Amino acid sequence: MGQDSKIRVLVAKPGLDGHERGAHVVAYGLRDEGFEVIYTGLRQTPEQIVSAAVQEDVDVIGLSILSGAHLTLTKKVMAGLKAKGANDILVTVGGVIPEEDKKTLEEMGVGGVFTSGSKIKDIAAFIRTKIGGNA
């Protein structure tokens, strides 16, 4: 039987903001691009996100943050992944991210930042380039 590999993406909303629309748009958009998207819902702790990413063996994590707490939350997720030996997973951040914070996020190890106005096609292309494989 042939290879049936799929790119798996975890779309997660850490922290306390309840603005889910962006995460939904990305989740369904990436599905239409052929990815397998695991969506975990609102108000996830960094521990829950790390645990889900490891168990689901995702290739990519997309954090959607609109609360302003992106630096703190992303830092915790990155640390959690490292502790579990899963820091090879590509982490991307989306939502309301001020321009001046992008560099700080990248220094933490974030692979890409996609703020509002980003095109699904671009996100999908970015993931495909970084990960390779079918989807």
Partner 1 sequence: MEEKLALMIEAAGENSERALAKLISHVEDRKTGWKDIMKTIYAKTGRTCVIGVTGSPGAGKSSLVGEFAKRLGDRGYTIGIIAVDPSSPFSGGAVLGDRIRMRDISTYQNIFIRSMATRGMLGGLCQAARDVVRIMDFAGKDIVIIETVGVGQDEIEVVSAADYVMLVTYPGGGDSVQAIKAGVMEIGDLFVVNKCDREGADIIVSEISAMLDLSTETAAKIPPVIKTSAFTKEGIDELMDILSEFIQKKKKGPHYQKDHVRQEVISILETEMVSIIKERITGNGNMEKELELILSGKSDPYSIADKLMKRFTVIKNVEEKRKGDFQ
Rounded CA-CA distance 31/33 in Å is: 5
Any contact of residue 106 with partner 1 (CB under 8 A)?
Answer: no
Number of residues this chain uses to bind partner 1 (CB under 8 A): 35
The nearest distance, CB 30 to partner 1, in angstroms, is 7
Q: Which of 85, 80, 86, 77 is nearest to 59 (CA)?
A: 86
Q: Is 36 exposed, middle or buried (0-12, 13-18, 19+ CB in 10 A)?
A: middle
Q: Which of residues 34-93 bind partner 1 (CB under 8 A)?
A: 34-41, 44-45, 47-48, 51-52, 54-57, 84-86
The nearest distance, CB 45 to partner 1, in angstroms, is 8
The nearest distance, CB 63 to partner 1, in angstroms, is 15
Rounded CA-CA distance 121/42 in Å is: 24
Q: Closer to partner 1 at the Cβ: 61 or 97?
A: 61
The nearest distance, CB 84 to partner 1, in angstroms, is 6
Any contact of residue 30 with partner 1 (CB under 8 A)?
Answer: yes
CB 86 within 8 A of CB 51: no
Q: Which of 118, 22, 126, 6 is nearest to 39 (CA)?
A: 22
The nearest distance, CB 78 to partner 1, in angstroms, is 16
What would you report as the CA-atom Rg of the chain, rounded to the nearest whole angstrom? 14
CB 115 within 8 A of CB 95: yes
Binding footprint of partner 1 on the chain (CB under 8 A): 1-6, 8, 27-28, 30-41, 44-45, 47-48, 51-52, 54-57, 84-86, 135
